[in-house]
Amino acid sequence: MRILLVNNEKDKDDFGRIPELKKNISQIVDAEFVVKHFHDVTFKDIAVYSVDYIILSGRFNSSWGKDEEPLFQGEYDLIRNCNVPLLGICAGMQLIGVAYGSKMDYICPIEKEKLSERDYVEVKLLQKDKIFKGLTSPIVVYEHHYCEIKDVSPGFIHLAASSLTPIQCIKDKDRNVYGVQFHPELYNDDYRDGRIILENFFLFC
CATH code of the domain in which 33 resides: 3.40.50.880
pTM of this structure: 0.94
AA letter at 172: D
19: number of Cβ within 10 Å: 10
- Residue 7's region, left for phi above 0, alpha for psi from -120 to 50, else beta, is beta
Q: Element (H or E) spanning 80, and its range?
A: helix 73-81
Closest CA to 180 of 164, 154, 198: 198
Residue 167 DSSP SS3? coil
What's residue 195's pLDDT? Answer: 98
Active site residues per annotation: 90, 183, 185
AA letter at 13: D
What's residue 64's pLDDT? Answer: 66
> Has residue 146 got a pLDDT over 90?
no
Q: What is the pLDDT of residues 113-145, one digit of tens each?
A: 666 778 999 999 999 999 999 999 999 999 988
Q: How far apart are CA 126 and CA 112, in angstroms?
A: 27
* Largest distance between two CA atoms of the chain: 44
The total number of structural domains in the chain stands at 1
Domain ranges, residue 85: 2-204
Q: How many residues are given for the chain?
A: 205
> Has residue 112 got a pLDDT over 70?
no
What's residue 14's pLDDT? Answer: 85
Q: Average pLDDT of the chain?
A: 93
AA letter at 76: Y
Q: Element (H or E) spanning 180, and its range?
A: strand 177-180
93: number of Cβ within 10 Å: 27
Instruction: Give the pairing type, strands 139-145 and 117-125.
Output: antiparallel
> Has residue 38 got a pLDDT over 90?
yes
Q: How far apart are CA 81 and CA 136, in angstroms?
A: 32
Side-chain-side CA neighbours of residue 113 (13 Å): 5
Q: What is the pLDDT of residues 161-198, one digit of tens each?
A: 999 999 999 999 999 999 999 999 999 999 999 999 99
